[in-house]
Amino acid sequence: MGFNVNIIGTRQLTARLKGKGKAIDRAMDAAMVWALLRIEGTTKKKLSGDVLNVGLTGDLRRSITGKKLGSGEEVSGIVGTAIVYAKTHELGLKINYPKRGFSIKFKKRAFLEPSLEQERSAVVRRFQQEIAKAVAS
pLDDT tens digit string along 80-95?
999 999 999 899 999 9
Please list, in sequence order, all residues whose beta carbon lies within 8 angstroms of the beta carbon of residue 24, skipping any fewer than 6 positions away. 17, 72, 73, 131, 134, 135
pLDDT of residue 52: 67
Instruction: Decide if pLDDT at 53 tops 70.
Output: no
Residue 106 pairs in a beta bridge with 93
DSSP state of 107: P
User: Of residues 9 and 115, which shows the higher confidence score?
Assistant: 115
pLDDT score, position 90: 92
Residue at 84 is within a domain:
yes
Whole domain around residue 105: which residue ranges? 20-136
Of 76, 74, 58, residue with least CA distance to 66:
76
Instruction: Give me the half-sphere count of Cα atoms (radius 13 Å) on the Cβ side of residue 103.
Output: 8
Q: Does 35 map to a domain?
A: yes
Examine the pLDDT at 130 and tell me if it is beyond 70.
Answer: yes
The answer to whether residue 31 sits within a structural domain is: yes
Rounded to an integer, the average pLDDT of 97-107 is: 92
